[in-house]
């Protein structure tokens, strides 16, 4: 299985920054991942 580029703690940090009001395109650019990846993480996190 492929190792993730970001740890779970980093992903949670990105999701919290978005919840705090940071613009998603800006967040993705600064973090170095695509918007599709962000929305995939968000969907995965909201299921639990």
2 contacts: CB under 8 Å, gap ≥ 6: none
Q: pTM of this prediction?
A: 0.84
pLDDT at 47: 60
Say what percent of the chain tops pLDDT 90: 83
Average pLDDT over the chain reads: 91
Say how far apart CA 48 and CA 33 lie, in whole Å.
Answer: 23
Nearest-angstrom CA–CA distance, 27 and 29 = 5
Spatial distance between the Cα atoms of 14 and 25, rounded to a whole number of angstroms: 12
């Amino acid at each position: 299985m492929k190792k993730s580029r970001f740890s779970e703690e980093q992903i949670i940090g990105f999701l919290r920054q978005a919840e705090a009001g940071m613009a998603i395109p800006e967040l993705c650019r600064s973090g170095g991942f695509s918007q599709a990846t962000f929305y995939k993480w968000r969907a995965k996190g909201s299921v639990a």
